[in-house]
Amino acid sequence: MNRSGAMRGMTLVELMVGMAVGLFVVLVAVSIFVSTRMLHGVGSASTRMSENGRLAMDTLQTDLRNASFVGCRPLLNEPPVSVLNAGTGAFLTTAAGMQGYRGMGAGFAPALVGPLAAMPAASGPLRNSDIVSVRVPFDPDGLGIVAPMASTLAAPQVAASSPTSTLASGDIVLVASCKAAAMFQITEPNPAATGVLTHGIGGGFVPGNATNDLQQRFRTDATVYKMQTRHYYIAASALHPGTNSLWRLAVPGPADPEEVASGIDRLALTYGIDGGAATGLQNVDHYAGADGVTAWDKVIAVRLQMLIATAKDNVARSHQSVDFAGTTITAEDRRLRSVLSEVVTVRNGAP
């Protein structure tokens, strides 16, 4: 019996057709895998970019709302009494508690002062991005006054050895009731242990007290808040070389600046100015850049614009062009970019 028909193999044509079909299936599978991996990478980078942008925005919003903090003081509309010397700008000693600087490309307007001006060009603030400095409470809970002051020259007193006290010699504090507020620097060697907030003159403290007269006898309805000035600026990232980050320098605080959030390319701020007597209302009359603000205690709102970018390059298919703060910015890399915008009310300036 002839079994040659049962033993017949594939013809060359059939083999080539089978290989072509198999190759097509493999190519489709590889294409789907590559596309899925690329989409996952873009999605992951975009999500991280959004998270970093939101962290930076939330951090700035919180401190801008608390700028010029004065505690509980609804019965008065005057700024706190400051007995501090003018200082160098490292700590904001003025009543306004806010100061901005507009990045002009070649420099800043107004010119930088204090530690911001002393930073090296390589690691210092980018000159095409704005800077804002705010004075805020280090701890919003504060410490209660435990005994009435005998006179306006006396030292306010809080609980001795309180577990919640982080006060140290040289700290700058605000003592505030619902009727008055005053700001001074502690000269007591160990205020956390003694609870005594001496505020003498001299002694090598910076900025130091110009007088020890607080102009008010604070009683047990007053609270003491430890204060910081926080300078926010954009500079080159230390975590992701080739990118920029939002940085914060706190005074008093650590000697080195803190990298708050990466992937923040630029920061633009405009300030809502209260028209005052010109309008008769405590509302925003107009917005101006830092170089156009003549009275920082009249700022009652801040408009934030933030240009954010992915940490990874080669995420976008081409060089992106983004409209930011009235100008079109064309990127030299292929990072994804987006713009965040928010208006923040300064609580202590608003009605």
In sequence order, the 6+-apart residues with CB closer than 8 A to the CB of 342 are 57, 61, 303, 304
pLDDT band per the 50, 70, 90 thresholds, residue 171: very high
Q: Does the pLDDT value for residue 126 go beyond 60?
A: yes
pLDDT value at residue 40? 57
How many helices (H) and strands (E) the chain has is answered by: 3, 16
**pTM for this one?**
0.85
pLDDT value at residue 261? 94
- Summarize the confidence of residues 241-256 as an average pLDDT: 93
Whether residue 95 contacts residue 79, with contact meaning beta carbons closer than 8 Å, is answered with yes
State pLDDT tens for residues 252-303.
Answer: 988 899 999 999 999 999 999 987 655 446 788 899 999 999 999 889 999 9
Q: Does the pLDDT value for residue 122 go beyond 60?
A: yes
- Nearest Cα to 59, choosing from 350, 260, 341? 260
Sequence-ordered strand ranges (E) for 177-238: 181-185, 223-236
State pLDDT tens for residues 31-89.
Answer: 776 666 666 566 677 888 889 999 999 999 999 999 988 887 654 557 789 999 998 88
Q: What does the mean pLDDT of the chain come to?
A: 88
How does DSSP classify residue 78? S
Distances (CA, A) of 218 to 135, 155, 172, 193, 225: 22, 10, 17, 21, 14
Residue 282: Cβ within 10 Å count: 14
Through-space distance between the first and last CA atoms of the chain, rounded to whole angstroms: 108
pLDDT value at residue 170? 94
State the DSSP H helix or E strand holding residue 174, giving kind and residue range, or none if neither: strand 172-176
How does DSSP classify residue 205? -
Whether residue 247 contacts residue 234, with contact meaning beta carbons closer than 8 Å, is answered with yes
Q: Does the pLDDT value for residue 1 go beyond 70?
A: no
Q: Which residue has the tokens 């204060």?
A: 227
Side chain identity at residue 47, one-letter code: T
Distances (CA, A) of 132 to 75, 81, 260, 265: 29, 23, 14, 15
Whether residue 139 contacts residue 225, with contact meaning beta carbons closer than 8 Å, is answered with yes
pLDDT value at residue 46? 81
